[in-house]
Structure 1
Amino acid sequence: MTDETRATTDAGSRSSAPGPGRATLWVILASATLTVMAGAILGPIVPAIQSNLGVSESLAGLIITTHGALIVAVSPVAGWVIDRVGPRRPFVAGLLLYGAGGGAGLVVDSFAPLLASRAVLGIGVAFVYVGVTVLIYDCYEGRRMSRALGLRSSANSVGAVVWPLVGGGLGTLSWQAPFGVYLIAVPLGVVAAATVPETGRSAAGESDGHGADGPDATDDGDEDGADGVTGVLAALRRRPGLLSVYLLYFAANALLYAIVVFYPGLLEGIGLTSSLSISLYLAANGAAGGTSAALYDRLVERTGRHALVGAAVALWVVAFAFAAAADSALTAVPAVVAFGLGQGLVFPASFAWIEALAPAARQGQYSSYLASAGYTGQFVSPVLFGPLVPAFGVRGVFVAAAALSAAGGVAFAVALTRR
């Protein structure tokens, strides 16, 4: 990986496209919070879903996780489409699918149709997630791109704080009421159609020969411009930093969900049993991440992405060490704050690296793999860390997470030294 942002060759050919206004950025940031809201808003009402639908706890949990599986599967398709037609139309379509799939829960009152609606929601999220990423790549450059990427990650963190509280509040009215919040994506899609510009990505790809049959924007040869597995393997071979970014993003999300899934158990062990108390600690994690992400553009300009990621990994080691040792309400605070600060630096850095490393005409495709890596990390986190709880207790999860973070930090330092 390299700190220098690659000057993409299609920038000039897109220069005739209308520039983004302030409304475009607000639409992008609002949409970023929706990708977090997709599952978070229903977390507080899983027991109510279970009792009202008459299903087991595991089946009720599928209502939360099904959309994530669809995101992993559909994101590469979304990236392929966006590279060919530009991000605007798939992004708007994704918002409308999001509203339809998520809002269906207002009227659906049986398990199978509700699960199907969550699959539709996942397809919508995939197109919104990748669409937001590529819109930032296409609409902003340099410091403005760093700023937009940082604000996007900050918006994600804010959503992680706000939407569960909204879901819990509406859940006191009825178990179906929280589903109504998904409908906000429909008017947002209308606003996006009116304010988000066409970026000229498809036209630029065709005119520069970056289409399906043309060469890549870089000088790495024709292989990077190929579609399918061959093209992906060629790009990863020529740009091994891409694989490192995917691994970093996978790890960041897996470690995040180690906090989300297992930290409540640790808090209960030290006497913090109320859902409100637990939510405040998770909210502190999100708030810390939002703060560091909002400062990302200033920090990266002064230090570079490698330094920020190195600092983030160090923060993670400290965070999990504090978590393993926490024995009171006060000593449990530094862990979530330190992890959140690191997370807020890694997320925008990862997206910036994809923009810099991916073939210019394939940024949608390669950013979609980042989305798949992240949601896979979230999904497998309980599988990776869960078996440690019976053997070593919940603190064993955080000891293991600290050790993995430290090992990752050493590998990162060795890679930089060899570079």
Structure 2
Amino acid sequence: MTETTVTGVARPPRPLVATLLGVSTMTIMASATITPALPGMERHFAGQPHAELLVRLVLTMPGLAIMVSAPLLARLSGRTGRVPVLAACLVLYTLGGGSGLFLDSLPALLAGRALLGVGIAGVMTTSTALLADHHDTSDHGRVLGLQGAAMGFGGVVALLLGGVLAAVDWRGPFAVYLLALPLLVLVLRYVPEADAQQPPDAETATPWQPRLLGRYAVMFLGVVVFYTVPTQAPFWLAEVGGAGPAAAGALIAAVNLVMTVVGLNFRWLRARWDFPVLVTAMFVAFAVGLVVLGVAGGLATAAVGMVVVGVGIGLQNPAVNGWVVASVAPGTRTKALGLLTSALFLGQFASPLLAQPVADAVGLGRTFVFAGVLAAVVGVVVAVVHFLRRR
């Protein structure tokens, strides 16, 4: 029995949607899964040259590969179809991610992580495009919200499962990447290509038009400010509240839970407000949460700040992804989403590079406050541009 949207268009079968949502959870596991394994990995490779630096590059290498490969894979999917690229990239994801189970040199491990990054790039761009392709435009808010919720839930699972497996052996968390194999089977069984038609009244643009570049910049700046939380918050929580790794991990997992709750309710938010308003609200949440976190004098206040930041993270993926999807024709969705994915991971790569000198100069608390002020400024710019365009 099929459901229908508010416009009377049949919704796709539930196995198809569930498969694509499951695939989306794989993208959030790129770094979170192996974070608990880093100390054990560093001990294991202590005898190799530059082990301390190379172990940290194991965490960031997928992001570098994603930045480079996402636009190329998006272009390829326009020629071969989205499903073949998604299936091939799930294979690369499995091989690259699972390589940590047996590789025993850091250069080889880094090569495997680069392969994982290529797989993630293809999975991110094609899964979002396929979700949009298989749903009527009126249903995009609901399904992209569900995707955001799935990614938040996947982050919680990755943190918890990675911690448990790392307690057994540092290689244990790499087994989580093998979950892509059953998802590959489900993709081949349940996910066809979609003949997505552009609604006659839809706003369209090529992926390189200025307004699209502005939306990529919104994603980049949003990631730059919120990524101060996973990279800097554990040290700040220890400083202001004496929080150990377990407490810090629990609070970061709570942020992912908030992201899940926001994603589940995004359909109602999208029905009431348009994308620029939601993006403005995202930056307001970042600004308030980061400032509260930065001025916190104890763990409880810091936790409140992190939860508010989680609201912004919950809005980010469905709002910015939806804004870009709504702005391009179906045939160019993967190209635009490929560029958006590159902007996202460029922000992840740039955030610690920008934040660390500030933290060294003025301290972690003021770094969070400065990040909050930057978020507020970007939110004001988005709101003003939206107001002027409506005028």
- Normalising to structure 2: TM-score of the pair? 0.91
1:151 to 2:146 alignment: yes
Inter-CA distance 162–218: structure 2 relative to 1 (3 Å threshold): closer
**Structure 2 CA distance for aligned equivalents of residues 20 and 90 of structure 1:** 21
Q: Specify the SS of the correspondent of 1:199.
A: coil
- Quote the residue 2:43 is aligned against: 51
Once the two structures are superposed, residues 3-56 of structure 1 have per-residue CA deviations (whole angstroms, 9 ceiling, x without a partner) of xxxxxxxxxxxx9xx973111111111111111112111101111111112242
Q: Is the contact made by 1:86 and 1:199 (CA closer than 8 Å) also made in structure 2? A: no
Post-superposition CA distance 1:352-385 (Å, at most 9, x none): 1111212442111111000000000001001111
Separation in structure 2 between the aligned mates of residue 198 and residue 219 of structure 1, nearest angstrom: 21
Q: Identify which of 367, 386, 390 aligns with 2:356.
A: 386
Q: Equivalent residues in 2 for 1:325-344 (5 A)?
A: 325-344=295-314
More deviation, 273-282/53-62:
53-62
Q: Say which SS state the counterpart of residue 273 (structure 1) adopts.
A: coil
Q: 1: distance between equivalents of 2:107 and 2:204? A: 50
1:62 aligns with 2:57: yes
Query: Partner of 1:10 in structure 2?
Result: none
2:4 aligns with none
Instruction: Report the equivalent of 2:375.
Output: 405
Is the Cα–Cα contact under 8 Å of residues 218 and 360 in structure 1 kept in the other structure? no
In structure 2, the residue matched to 1:71 is 66
2:272 alignment counterpart: 302
Write out per-residue CA displacement over residues 311-370 of structure 1, whole angstroms, 9 at most, x where no aligned residue. Answer: 222222211120111111211121111111122112211111111212442111111000
Question: Tell me, what secondary structure is at the counterpart of 2:326?
Answer: helix
Whole-angstrom CA distance in 1 between matches of 2:122 and 2:312: 27
Partner of 1:165: 160
State the SS of the aligned residue for 1:312. Answer: helix
2: CA distance, partners of 1:309 / 1:354: 12
Aligned residue in 1 for 2:181 = 186
2:27 corresponds in structure 1 to 35
Aligned to 2:385: 415
Q: Partners in 2 of 1:410 and 1:355 — Cα distance?
A: 23
Contact 2:96 2:115 in 1 (8 A): yes
Identify the residue that residue 247 of structure 1 maps to in structure 2: 217
Structure 1 window deviating more from structure 2 (304-313 vs 36-45): it is: 304-313
CA distance in 2, matches of 1:65, 1:306: 31
Superposed CA deviations along residues 263-303 of structure 1, whole A, max 9, x for unmatched, are 11111112333111001111121111111121111111022
Tell me whether 1:116 sits opposite 2:86 in the alignment: no
2: CA distance between counterparts of 1:407 and 1:386?
A: 21
* Residues 256 and 378 in structure 1, CA contact (< 8 A), matched pair in contact too: no
Q: 1:363 to 1:258 in 2, by over 3 A?
A: same
Partner of 2:12: 20
State the distance in 1 between where 2:135 and 2:265 align. 17
Runs of 4 or more consecutive aligned structure 1 residues displaced over 6 Å after TM superposition: 217-220
Aligned-pair CA distance for 1:218: 8.4
Change (3 A) 1:91 1:134: same
Q: How much has 1:304 moved relative to structure 2?
A: 2.1
The answer on whether the counterparts of 1:83 and 1:364 sit within 8 Å (CA) in structure 2 is: yes
Per the alignment, residue 85 of structure 2 pairs with 90
TM-score, normalisation: structure 1:
0.85
CA shift in 2, pair 1:219/1:395, >3 Å: closer
**Please, which runs of 5 or more residues in structure 2 have no aligned partner?**
1-8
RMSD of the alignment, in Å? 2.0
Matched, 1:80 2:100: no
Q: Does 1:268 align with 2:238?
A: yes
Size of the aligned set, in residue pairs, is 375
**Following the alignment from structure 2 to structure 1, what is the Cα–Cα distance between the partners of residues 274 and 195?**
30
SS across alignment from 1:270? helix
- 1:142 deviates by 2.9
Q: Quote the Cα distance in structure 1 between the aligned partners of 2:138 and 2:12.
A: 15
**Structure 1 residue 186 displacement after superposition:** 1.2
SS in 1 for 2:227: helix
Tell me what 1:208 maps to. none
